[in-house]
Each structure stands twice: as structure tokens, then as C-alpha cells.
A = this chain, B = another copy of it.
Amino acid sequence: MEHYEKQHKEHFSGSALAVNSGVEQPPVVSPYFKKVKRRQLSVDDYMKGILEGNTTVLSQAITLIESLRPEHYELSQKIIEKCLPYSGKSVRIGITGVPGAGKSTFIEAIGNKVTNLGHKLAVLAIDPSSEKSKGSILGDKTRMETLVHNEKAFIRPSPSAGSLGGVARKTRETVILCEAAGFDVIFIETVGVGQSETAVHSMVDLFLMIQISGAGDELQGIKRGIMEMADMVAINKADGDNIQRANLTKAHFVNALNLFPMPESKWKPRVYTCSSIEGTGLLDIWSGVEDFIRFTRENGYYQKNRNRQAKYWMYETINDALKERFYQNEEVKNQLAFFERKVLDNEISSFIAARELLRIYSEKK
């Protein structure tokens, strides 16, 4: 008990909290949060707040998931476990598209339509650039101004530290909490660069690719593997004198998608045009999403896909935990830099260094 009080104190002391940068808290401070802040949050407090749909508590719990401190990680796992029975009921949608396709504008425009239909929407992101630049796609939340202030929407920037695998796991865990908080539509945004699509694909029910019409070479630069993942394609910016071009691009995509074999879902990918600025085509896309979900639920693919994803995440979680335990081990932490230096200076081989560190780990844990 003392242990938990200690970590809660640290958690709320602010400066001691090793959270990722760029994670902004929602502007509203609820009375619930004020109250619990004084008496420290227990796992049950977190769960209660999340189940009540309190986004401040939800944000705090997500911060624990993203924290680099082992005690925060442990606490987050307890919260996730409590929330699990209340999760799984959302429609999870992956959204990809090259920079410039207008993803943020699209998400904002369709997001507001979706909440108007009575849904609660959470927007998450997996940002592969985070590995290098520590940046975040959604860090620039000003691009989603109206959605940020939409009470039925919750926007969470990408965790900005760690490997893609780690970020993906954290996003997957965040989905659980958002679902427990009553969000029944989850968007997971990424950019079109390959590996992050695969990660997103492993946690969503439907994959939507945003495209814009180009100068006749629309299909160039789109990787075959990403095309193959798409259940739906939306040609954005179909407005003004761009409408004809967008329709042409749509035709190109329909042709291109016809070249692929029928996917396992038996769902023939659909291509739409839309304008995020004029708001046209968005409800058609949403209706397409509903068709997809109905279709795959009926033919059993929906559940099969989710179960397979769960199996994948079982292995990912194990592999992550094994690394976590190793690299968080005190003795390993003390020795890692030393051995890394020796390897970089060519004094010992990578294999010997690895063996020594593994020996230290086996002996000292």
C-alpha cells in the first residue's frame, strides 16, 4: 500500500513524472478530478473515472501508459485489466494517407459528422516520425480546432518516445481505455510510410486510405502493401474545379483495386470522393463504414480478425515485457552504456557484449 501511495504522490507531483512531451491535457478540469487529486488516485479511482467517461482521468491513465517509469507502467497495466471487460465495443478505424492529403482536415470534418450522429469519438495516432524527431502528427492540434472543442470527441497525440513497436502497443492499450470510457468510434491515424500502417492494421477493424487527385500519376508512390490493406479509399479535396480530377482519380483507384485478389474479408474495397472543406461525401463514407462493419460481422470476418489481432498482441505484449524487464533491470541499466561504449570502440564484439549483459541480467534479477 505504501508503495502505491508513493508512486501516486510522484505521479501527481508533476516534475517527477516522466511523461512524454507534447501530451496536452484537456482544458476542462472536472470536479471529480479536483476531488481525487487531493486524495490520490487508486486503480479503482481510475477505473471509476474512466467508466464515468471522465476524460481528465482517462488522459491521466493514458499518461501512465506512456510513462517511461516502470511503476507507472505497472499501474497502467492494472487499470487496463480492470477496464478490459468494458472494452471491445467500438468500431476501430485506421486512417492513413501521405502528408498533404489533408488527413487532419478530413478527420475533423468527418469526426464532427460522426459525433452529430450520436457517437463518441476518440482520435489517436501512431507516429513513426516519433522515433527520430520525437514529433507527433497530432501535436499540432490547432488543425483540429472544432474537434478539440467537441464534447463528444477526445483527441490524443501520439506517444512520442520509444520504438514503433512500443508506441503501437501503447496505442493499442489506449484503445482499451477509450472504449471503457464509452468512446464507440476510434480513429487511429498514421502516415503512409509502411511499417506504421502494418502496426495500425494490426489493431483496427477497417483501414481507410486518404488520397488526393494528382496529375495523372495518382498511383505512384503508393506502396502495394498499403493499397492491399485498404478497405476503403477516400479521394479528398473533391471540390471547386478539382471535382473532375477527383472523379478521374477515383476511377483509377477502382481499376487498380480490381487488380488485387479478393481479400479474406470478402469485402470489395470501395472508393469515395469527398471534400473536407465543403463537407460533401463524408456521410457516404461513414455509411460505407457501417456497411463494412455489418458485412464483416455477418460473415464472421470481423470477429476472426479481432481474435487474430488479439493473438498477435499477446505475442507483442510478451516480447515488449521481456525487453522492458531487461532494460529496466538496475544492474543492466548500470552496465549498458559501458558495454555499448566498448562495442562502439571496437574493444569487444557485439556477441560478447550481449552475452555479458545477459549474464548480468540472469544473475542480478
User: Does B322 lie within 8 Å of A323, measured CB to CB?
Assistant: yes
Report the bound CA distance from A314 to B335 in whole Å: 13
Distance from A324 Cβ to chain B, minimum over Cβ atoms (Å): 10
Number of chain A residues whose Cβ lies closer than 8 Å to a Cβ of chain B: 42
User: Does B346 lie within 8 Å of A307, measured CB to CB?
Assistant: yes
Scan residues 301-338 of chain A and give those whose CB is less than 8 A from a CB of chain B: 303, 306-308, 310-315, 317-319, 321-323, 326
With a cutoff of 8 Å between Cβ atoms, the chain B residues found around residue A351 in the complex are 77, 80-81, 84, 173, 176, 313-314, 317
User: Does A318 lie within 8 Å of B352, measured CB to CB?
Assistant: no
**Which listed segment binds B: A14-22, A143-151, A354-362?**
A354-362
User: Does B81 lie within 8 Å of A308, measured CB to CB?
Assistant: no
Distance from A112 Cβ to chain B, minimum over Cβ atoms (Å): 32
User: Does B318 lie within 8 Å of A349, measured CB to CB?
Assistant: no
User: Does A318 lie within 8 Å of B354, measured CB to CB?
Assistant: yes
Shortest Cβ distance from A193 into B: residue: B225
Shortest Cβ distance from A307 into B: residue: B344
With a cutoff of 8 Å between Cβ atoms, the chain B residues found around residue A176 in the complex are 351
Q: Is A44 an interface residue (CB 8 A)?
A: no
Report the bound CA distance from A351 to B358 in whole Å: 26
Shortest Cβ distance from A340 into B: residue: B311
Please tell me which one of the listed residues B303, B312, B322 contacts residue A322 in the complex, with CB atoms under 8 A apart.
Answer: B322
Q: Is A343 an interface residue (CB 8 A)?
A: yes
With a cutoff of 8 Å between Cβ atoms, the chain B residues found around residue A357 in the complex are 314, 318
User: Does A352 lie within 8 Å of B321, measured CB to CB?
Assistant: no
Using known A-B contacts A194-B194, A307-B344, A322-B323, determine if residue A314 contacts B81 with beta carbons closer than 8 Å.
no
Scan residues 207-235 of chain A and give those whose CB is less than 8 A from a CB of chain B: 220, 223
Q: Is A42 an interface residue (CB 8 A)?
A: no
Shortest Cβ-Cβ A-B pairs, 5 listed: A317-B354, A313-B350, A314-B350, A310-B350, A322-B322
Report the bound CA distance from A345 to B311 in whole Å: 10
Shortest Cβ distance from A326 into B: residue: B322
Q: Is A254 an interface residue (CB 8 A)?
A: no
Using known A-B contacts A314-B350, A354-B318, A354-B321, determine if residue A307 contacts B81 with beta carbons closer than 8 Å.
no
With a cutoff of 8 Å between Cβ atoms, the chain B residues found around residue A220 in the complex are 220
Q: Is A353 an interface residue (CB 8 A)?
A: yes
Report the bound CA distance from A246 to B49 in whole Å: 67
Please tell me which one of the listed residues B322, B344, B358 contacts residue A308 in the complex, with CB atoms under 8 A apart.
Answer: B344
Using known A-B contacts A319-B323, A321-B358, A352-B84, determine if residue A303 contacts B346 with beta carbons closer than 8 Å.
yes
User: Does B343 lie within 8 Å of A84, measured CB to CB?
Assistant: no
Report the bound CA distance from A54 to B315 in whole Å: 40
Distance from A362 Cβ to chain B, minimum over Cβ atoms (Å): 9
Please tell me which one of the listed residues B317, B323, B354 contacts residue A350 in the complex, with CB atoms under 8 A apart.
Answer: B317
Q: Is A339 an interface residue (CB 8 A)?
A: yes
- Which of A223, A322, A351 neighbours the largest number of chain B CB atoms within 10 Å of its CB? A351
With a cutoff of 8 Å between Cβ atoms, the chain B residues found around residue A303 in the complex are 346
Please tell me which one of the listed residues B314, B319, B326 contacts residue A343 in the complex, with CB atoms under 8 A apart.
Answer: B314
Using known A-B contacts A323-B319, A326-B322, determine if residue A344 contacts B81 with beta carbons closer than 8 Å.
no
Jot down 25 A-B pairs with beta carbons below 8 A, ordered by A: A81-B351, A84-B349, A84-B351, A194-B194, A220-B220, A223-B223, A307-B343, A308-B344, A310-B343, A310-B344, A310-B349, A311-B344, A311-B350, A313-B351, A313-B354, A314-B339, A314-B350, A314-B357, A315-B354, A317-B350, A317-B355, A321-B354, A322-B322, A322-B323, A322-B326
